[in-house]
Chains A and B, each alone.
Chain A
């Protein structure tokens, strides 16, 4: 496995704000990698550090084994799809896509051919003469994608590229991005705050909180085996059971995570009062209060939904309760 991007103890501080704080990270060649976290968690700053828009306060960044810490953005073999797309409004779609080739000094015919190829790649054939202002949000996004891809980067950086699209278009673009990545075989580094997006698209996920990486692993790892309460809570809104409850139930004094869909109602070691219900379409989520703790339970469609105020007992299959070794809460 070739390492495409390597962060060694990278920090980026803005005054007293530690946007990125001592991050170690390795992203492999050809991997679909998601940086997941809430806003302000440092994931976008990490992406900007890879692109070269930010300089690390401490630590070093290597791109394909070469130290890139002092390399300006225009000499890095990576390209970015911006959150606001950042298309040049004074250029038409073709010139936007060929911009990188133009500043590199490619001839007119080569540029045109590459731009048309890029348009074809994102299924926008025939849109070359339009201005960005004449395109829809989804189309602009594809142009931004094509503009970055015609540079044949070794790593493509995507900063919340689907954030501004509506749900249907998002889902479509998710699968298109995924298949594009497989076809091109280059690493995609993808910033998102949407855990569903990260889990469904990425080969590996890094979960960020307050400038630090909480966990790196496959989607199954971070979903089923969270190593920190933050990960359990943020990735799929898992229940985080504090040590005293876990101790009372199974006799081990440690925090644990328990997925809402892993809980069955009827009999079990944990009892509580139903406090709220929310109909989600394919399931109903209820919130059960056990002392000071709120436990979320997902009841699939067709299951019996208890009324608010009802007392319920909750159980789960052996192994569903995941102990968090790295828990500090």
Chain B
């Protein structure tokens, strides 16, 4: 004890653990508070201003006029389209991700677990743009998917699908289906990982207990596994939903010319110089997420937490 090297700093921090916590948490808190929340707040404020249609100058008076513009048919279409796409991508991702996450949580051990993590994370390591452009090639008329359908003499199936109005188009790469597939691919890891984490916490005995009490596997899935995975599904859907709502690159490269919220924000704040409208558009995803989470909480999605 007496021979121990004196280190007054360590001793002082040991005696006052709150001080250490304060030192650790202040820098990130400042970063979050000022840079992040601050800019978000600035955005919110902007959305309550309006633009003078003749001079193009911003009128710094509080008004709801800009929000009213969101309801104009052309703008409202953008909102509906974006929310529909985000919902479709979220539901699709949940359906595709669940079996993968279930396998990883229940059955994969040792080496296979590593293979799972690698497989899920690998797409995240390459550039986002590279992935999107490679999907454009895959989905193009001269692309590998078309070739595959041709080789299997199933081109008529693809043709029939592409002739469906709304989701079809000239080729997959210029259809909403194409946009959907690329979104699904790009955000899938963000859905798989939270679901896997939530399933990992379900002890095997809980599933055995359900079977022991007479539940068939399907009932166990419905009454035990899904409710316990729900927080993970919700966490994943926060990612897929908000990332889809805010994205402006994928719909620009793959899909039709109709715009989504991200593209609208990009154009209004850039080319059009209409910052208030851009801000109003940008507020929409935040509000939608707020409503979504409130509903999820009401429905008891977080009860298992």
| Residue positions of A touching B, CB distance < 8 A | 51-53, 72-75, 78-80, 82-84, 86-90, 99-100, 102-104, 147-148, 151
**CB <8 Å contact, A90 and B304:** yes
Interface string of B287-302 (1 = CB under 8 A from A): 0000000000000100
Given A82-B205, A84-B205, are A90 and B227 also a contact pair (CB < 8 Å)?
yes
Given A74-B212, A147-B213, are A103 and B223 also a contact pair (CB < 8 Å)?
yes
Contact segment of B121-129, B214-222, B262-270: B214-222
Contacting residue for B206 out of A52, A79, A86, CB 8 A:
A86
Given A74-B215, A86-B205, are A99 and B304 also a contact pair (CB < 8 Å)?
no
**CB <8 Å contact, B224 and A88:** yes
**CB <8 Å contact, B208 and A73:** yes
Given A80-B209, A84-B203, A99-B223, are A89 and B228 also a contact pair (CB < 8 Å)?
yes
Residues of A within 8 A of B224 (CB): 88
**CB <8 Å contact, B227 and A100:** no
Nearest-CB residue, chain A, relative to B219: A103
Given A88-B224, A89-B304, are A103 and B214 also a contact pair (CB < 8 Å)?
yes
How distant is the Cα of A148 from the Cα of B211 in the complex, in angstroms?
12
Residues of B within 8 A of A74 (CB): 211-216
Query: Can you report 13 residue pairs joining A to B where beta carbons are below 8 Å apart?
Result: A51-B212, A53-B212, A74-B213, A74-B216, A75-B214, A79-B213, A86-B203, A88-B228, A90-B227, A90-B300, A103-B213, A103-B216, A151-B214
How distant is the Cα of A84 from the Cα of B209 in the complex, in angstroms?
11
Q: Restricting to B154-189, which residues have a CB under 8 Å from any CB of A? A: none
Chain A nearest CB: distance from B201 CB in Å?
A: 9
Nearest-CB residue, chain A, relative to B301: A90
B87 sits at the interface (CB 8 A) = no
B75 sits at the interface (CB 8 A) = no
B303 sits at the interface (CB 8 A) = yes
How distant is the Cα of A222 from the Cα of B45 in the complex, in angstroms?
82
Chain A nearest CB: distance from B87 CB in Å?
A: 25
How distant is the Cα of A79 from the Cα of B276 in the complex, in angstroms?
64
Nearest-CB residue, chain B, relative to A80: B212
* Chain B binding surface, main DSSP class: helix
Chain B nearest CB: distance from A266 CB in Å?
A: 52
**CB <8 Å contact, B214 and A100:** yes
Residues of B within 8 A of A151 (CB): 213-214
How distant is the Cα of A74 from the Cα of B300 in the complex, in angstroms?
28
**CB <8 Å contact, B208 and A53:** yes
How distant is the Cα of A51 from the Cα of B209 in the complex, in angstroms?
10
The listed residue with most B CB atoms (<10 A of its CB), out of A78, A80, A89, A151, is A89
How distant is the Cα of A100 from the Cα of B214 in the complex, in angstroms?
6
The listed residue with most A CB atoms (<10 A of its CB), out of B203, B205, B213, B223, is B213
**CB <8 Å contact, A100 and B213:** yes
B252 sits at the interface (CB 8 A) = no
Residues of B within 8 A of A51 (CB): 208, 212
How distant is the Cα of A89 from the Cα of B211 in the complex, in angstroms?
16
Residues of A within 8 A of B242 (CB): none
Chain B nearest CB: distance from A231 CB in Å?
A: 30
How distant is the Cα of A147 from the Cα of B227 in the complex, in angstroms?
19
**CB <8 Å contact, A82 and B211:** no
Residues of A within 8 A of B203 (CB): 84, 86
Chain A nearest CB: distance from B298 CB in Å?
A: 15
Residues of A within 8 A of B212 (CB): 51-53, 73-74, 78-80, 148
Residues of A within 8 A of B216 (CB): 74, 103
Residues of B within 8 A of A53 (CB): 208, 211-212
**CB <8 Å contact, A86 and B208:** yes
Contacting residue for A104 out of B205, B214, B223, B304, CB 8 A:
B214
How distant is the Cα of A26 from the Cα of B120 in the complex, in angstroms?
50
Chain B nearest CB: distance from A46 CB in Å?
A: 15
**CB <8 Å contact, A82 and B228:** no
Q: Restricting to B272-289, which residues have a CB under 8 Å from any CB of A? A: none
How distant is the Cα of A151 from the Cα of B215 in the complex, in angstroms?
12
Residues of B within 8 A of A72 (CB): 211
**CB <8 Å contact, B214 and A90:** no
